[in-house]
Chain A
Amino acid sequence: MSTAAAYQAGPPEPLAPGEGGDVRLSLPALVRSQPRILFAGGLLLLLVLTALLAPAISGHDPILTDPDNALLAPSRGHWMGTDELGRDLLARVLWGGRVSLPVAFVAVVVGLSVGGLTGLVAGYRGRVTDLLLMRAVDAILAFPALILAIAIVSALGPSLRNAMIAIGIVQIPVYARLTRAQVLQLKGLDFVAAARALGASPLRLVARHLVPNLLNPLIVQVSLSAAFAILAEATLSFLGLGAQPPTPDWGFMINDGSRFLANGAWWLALAPGLAICLAVFGFNWLGDSLRDALDPRLRR
Chain B
Amino acid sequence: MAPVAFLVSVAVFLLIHLTPGDPAAIILGEEGSASTIAALHKELGLDQPLTTQYAIWIARVLHGDLGSSLRTHQPVTQAIGERLPATLELGLAALLWSLAVAIPLGTVAALRRGSLLDVLASGFTVAGVSVPNFFIGILLILLMGLALRLFPVGGFVPFTEDPFQNLRHLLLPALTLGTAGAAINMRFTRSSMIEVLGQDYIRTARAKGAPWLRVVRAHALKNALIPVVTVVGIQVGSIIEGALVTETVFSWPGVGKLAVDGIFGRDYPVIQGIVLIAALSYMVANLLVDLTYAYLDPRITYS
Residues 135-163 (chain A) with a chain B CB within 8 angstroms = 135-136, 138-139, 142-148, 150-152, 154-157
Establish whether residues B238 and A144, one from each chain, have CB atoms under 8 Å apart when the complex forms. yes
Residue in B3, B12, B18, B289 whose CB lies within 8 Å of A135: B3
In contact, A261 and B301 (Cβ under 8 angstroms) = no
| B300/A273 in contact, CB under 8 A | no
Known: A143-B278, A144-B238, A144-B241. A227 touches B130 (CB 8 A): yes
- Verify B130–A284 contact, CB threshold 8 A: yes
Whether B286 contacts A239 by the Cβ 8 Å rule is no
CB of A197 within 8 Å of the partner chain = no
Partner of B275, one of A5, A151, A240, A276: A151
Question: Does A155 lie within 8 Å of B15, measured CB to CB?
Answer: yes
Instruction: List, in ascending order, chain B residues with CB within 8 A of A150's CB.
Output: 244, 259, 263
Closest chain-B Cβ to A2's Cβ sits at a distance in Å of 6
Chain B residues near A136: list those with CB within 8 A: 7
Decide if A151 touches B1 in the complex (CB within 8 Å): no
Min CB distance A7 to B, Å, is: 10
Contact B4 A138 (CB under 8 A): yes
A134 to nearest B CB, angstroms?
A: 10
A240:B4 contact, CB within 8 angstroms: no
Give Cα A285 to B222, complex, Å: 31
Task: Report the minimum CB–CB distance from A286 to chain B (whole Å).
Answer: 12
Decide if A277 is an interface residue (CB 8 Å cutoff). Answer: yes
Report chain A residues within 8 Å CB of B278.
143-144, 147
Measured between beta carbons, the chain A residues less than 8 angstroms from B264 are: 240
Q: Does B249 contact A (CB under 8 A)?
A: yes
Whether B279 sits at the interface, judged by CB under 8 Å, is yes
Q: Is the CB of B286 within 8 A of A273?
A: no
Answer whether residue B188 sits at the interface, using C-beta atoms and an 8 A cutoff: no
- Are A281 and B126 interface neighbours, CB within 8 A? yes
From residue A263, how far is it (CB to closest CB) to chain B in Å?
10
The residues of B that contact A276 with a CB separation of less than 8 Å are: 131-132, 135
Write the B283-303 contact mask toward A (1 if CB under 8 angstroms, else 0).
100110110011001011110
Which residues of chain A are within 8 angstroms of B202 by Cβ–Cβ distance?
none
Taking A139-B4, A139-B8 as contacts, is the C-beta distance between A273 and B135 under 8 angstroms? yes
Known: A136-B7, A147-B278. A273 touches B244 (CB 8 A): no
Task: Report A-chain residues with C-beta under 8 Å of the C-beta of B289.
Answer: 2, 5
Whole-angstrom distance between the Cβ of A149 and the nearest chain B Cβ: 10
Residues of chain B lying within 8 A (CB to CB) of residue A261: 138, 141-142, 146, 153
B256 vs chain A, min Cβ distance (A): 10
Q: Judge if B56 is at the interface, Cβ distance under 8 Å.
A: no
Q: What number of B residues sit within 8 Å (CB to CB) of A?
A: 60
Q: Tell me, in angstroms, the Cα distance from A154 to B294 when the chains sit together.
A: 38
Encode contact with A along B1-29: 1 for CB under 8 Å, 0 otherwise: 10111011001100110111000000000
Cβ–Cβ < 8 Å partners of B130 in chain A: 227, 277, 280-281, 284
Task: Determine whether the beta carbon of A147 is less than 8 Å from that of B4.
Answer: no
Instruction: Mark the stretch among A177-185, A187-195, A199-207, A230-238 that contacts chain B.
Output: A230-238
- Indicate if the CB atoms of A142 and B300 lie closer than 8 Å: no
Given A143-B278, A146-B241, A152-B135 contact (CB < 8 Å) = no
CA distance A285 to B7 in the complex (A): 36
212-252 of chain B: CB within 8 A of chain A:
227, 230, 234, 237-238, 240-241, 244-245, 248-249
Q: Is the CB of A8 within 8 A of B300?
A: yes
Q: Determine the chain A residues whose CB is within 8 A of the CB of B100 once the complex forms.
A: none
Which of chain A's residues have a CB closer than 8 A to the CB of B8? 139, 142-143
B156 within 8 A of A: no
Complex CA–CA separation, A284 to B289 (angstroms): 27
A122 is an interface residue with CB less than 8 A from chain B? no
Query: Do the beta carbons of A4 and B244 come within 8 Å of each other?
Result: no
User: In the bound complex, do residue A285 and residue B126 qualify as a contact, i.e. CB atoms below 8 Å apart?
Assistant: yes
Given that A2-B230, A2-B290, A231-B132 are known contacts, is A156 also in contact with B245, CB under 8 Å in the complex?
Answer: no
B290 touches A146 (CB 8 A): no
Q: How far is the CA of A266 from the CA of B147 in the complex (A)?
A: 10
Residues 96-143 of A contacting B (Cβ, < 8 Å)? 135-136, 138-139, 142-143
Say yes or no: is B174 at the interface (Cβ < 8 Å to chain A): no
A284 contacts B126, C-beta separation under 8 Å = yes
Query: Given contacts A254-B134, A254-B135, A277-B130, is CB(A142)–CB(B282) below 8 Å?
Result: yes
Taking A5-B230, A156-B18 as contacts, is the C-beta distance between A258 and B241 under 8 angstroms?
no
Given that A231-B132, A258-B249 are known contacts, is A266 also in contact with B142, CB under 8 Å in the complex? Answer: yes
Given contact pairs A5-B289, A261-B138, enumerate 7 new A-B contacts (beta carbons under 8 Å): A144-B237, A148-B275, A150-B259, A154-B263, A155-B18, A277-B127, A281-B127
Listed A/B pairs (8) with beta-carbon separation below 8 Å: A2-B234, A136-B7, A138-B7, A142-B7, A152-B18, A154-B271, A251-B132, A262-B146
**Which chain B residues have a beta carbon within 8 Å of chain A's beta carbons?**
1, 3-5, 7-8, 11-12, 15-16, 18-20, 126-127, 129-132, 134-135, 138-139, 141-142, 146, 153, 227, 230, 234, 237-238, 240-241, 244-245, 248-249, 259-260, 262-264, 271, 275, 278-279, 282-283, 286-287, 289-290, 293-294, 297, 299-302
Q: Which residues of A contact B (CB under 8 A)?
A: 1-2, 4-5, 8-9, 135-136, 138-139, 142-148, 150-152, 154-157, 227, 231, 234-235, 238-241, 251, 254, 257-258, 261-262, 266, 269-270, 273, 276-277, 280-281, 284-285, 288
